[in-house]
Structure 1
Amino acid sequence: MTALPDWMRPPRAEGWFAEDLDRLPEAPRHTELIDGALVFMMSPQRWWHGHLVTMLTVALMDQAPGDVSVGREMTIKLDERNRPEPDLLLTTAAYDGDRTWFTPDEVLLVIEVVSPESAHRDRTVKLRKYAQAGIPHYWCVEDEDGAPVVHVYELDEPTGAYAPAGIFRDALKRPVPFDITLNLAELTPRRSD
């Protein structure tokens, strides 16, 4: 077994903290912090996933009001031990080119496009953590035979948990966090026979 590189060793006995991510230039791209543990996206990204994230980015940028920006692959500092990196987010934060993370109060919507290696985290762990942090909207996008299916959740403030707000196939129309209309069938590449 090969020894771990020095940068993979936690800087203290308590493990990793949110600010440590900014001091890990050797870490692979898309490194997250979940419960004080580094999580790496090590498997190759599927074309479906990357294409869908790009198409969602463009569609949401076209519809977002002037005070809302679309962020891609940026972390959210939920607390000192959690800094997940969703595929997309909608934020009210002013643009700062040097910024590496957002706070939950700056995030309106988090979107995770589920991959086989992220399925458990996206469907359970992140769902719970984003809700506990007070992020008002969460979408979990699944691959159903090559077509996107969007599971939409809204924060139920009295309980601090997400409540299901619908499962969308073919088309998605939502009034929050702003008026959003998506033709889901147009978001995936056409297959050639």
Structure 2
Amino acid sequence: MTAALLAQEGPWTDAEYLALGETGCRVELFDGSLHLTHAPTPRHQYISRRLATTLDPGADAAGLHVLEAVNVRLHSGRIPIPDLVVTGDIDFDELVIDGAVVRLVCEITSPSNAATDQVLKMHYYATARIPWYLLVEQESGTLRLYRLDGSHYVEHAVAKVGDTLRFTEPVAVEIRPESLLPGR
């Protein structure tokens, strides 16, 4: 993969990005440029798995799917890999999910990627008209649920450790932040 990254001149197309195949790090495409990050920490992955498990029953009841770390095409040249998505019907064998079927996107922030999740990705997800955005602050466990209002997100609900986040769209669920954190 390194040779392919170094040999590329100019902006990356969706096809060139997808031709990279599986990599040892997370590679996302933003407006023709690659964004590389290290593999997530064990804490991040623990939270992701617990959150997916929490969302699964509500998603199943609503006829939706919970998926971790999949390619989502928001626009040509924009293919992020959100930590979790809740989607409608998809083709489980496709490399990319169309952003139009994503109902909820979740990102688990850490000090190294907080700005990307809170600014860049939030903007791109809103532009793609994804109705709900959930940010999980991995250190504190704080959950911030945003809903799409016009062309941007507005904060819908916040839950800190000791609180419960309740929502009914796109899935009915109650989440206690401490239930997502290791060692609690």
The TM-score with structure 2 as length reference comes to: 0.89
Q: Is contact 1:18–1:79 with CA below 8 Å preserved after alignment? A: no
- Structure 1's 45 and 11: CA in aligned 2 closer, same or farther, altered over 3 A? closer
The equivalent position to 1:165 in structure 2, one of 156, 171, 174, is 156
Mark the runs of 5 or more structure 2 residues left unpaired by the alignment: none
- Structure 1's 132 and 185: CA in aligned 2 closer, same or farther, altered over 3 A? same
* Number of corresponding residues: 181
- Structure 1's 37 and 28: CA in aligned 2 closer, same or farther, altered over 3 A? farther
Give SS of 1:173's match. strand
Is 1:76 the counterpart of 2:72? The answer is yes
* Max Rg structure: 1
Is 1:151 the counterpart of 2:157? The answer is no
Aligned-residue offset at 1:9: 3.7
Question: One-letter code of the match for 2:100?
Answer: D
Superimposed CA distance per residue, residues 13-62 of structure 1 (whole angstroms, 9 cap, x where no aligned partner): 3x1122222201364342101121111112x5322211100100111112
Mark the runs of 5 or more structure 1 residues left unpaired by the alignment: none
Question: One-letter code of the match for 2:5?
Answer: M
Q: Which has the higher helix share?
A: 2
Identity over aligned residues, as a percent?
26
Q: Report what 1:62 is aligned to.
A: 57
Superimposed CA distance per residue, residues 84-141 of structure 1 (whole angstroms, 9 cap, x where no aligned partner): 1110000002342x22211121100000000222111101000001001110000111
* Root-mean-square deviation over aligned CA pairs: 2.0
- Structure 1's 95 and 163: CA in aligned 2 closer, same or farther, altered over 3 A? same
Give me the whole-angstrom Cα distance separating, in 1, the residues matched to 2:89 and 2:27: 22
Is 1:124 the counterpart of 2:119? The answer is yes
Q: Is contact 1:171–1:185 with CA below 8 Å preserved after alignment? A: no
Q: Report what 1:85 is aligned to.
A: 81
The TM-score with structure 1 as length reference comes to: 0.85
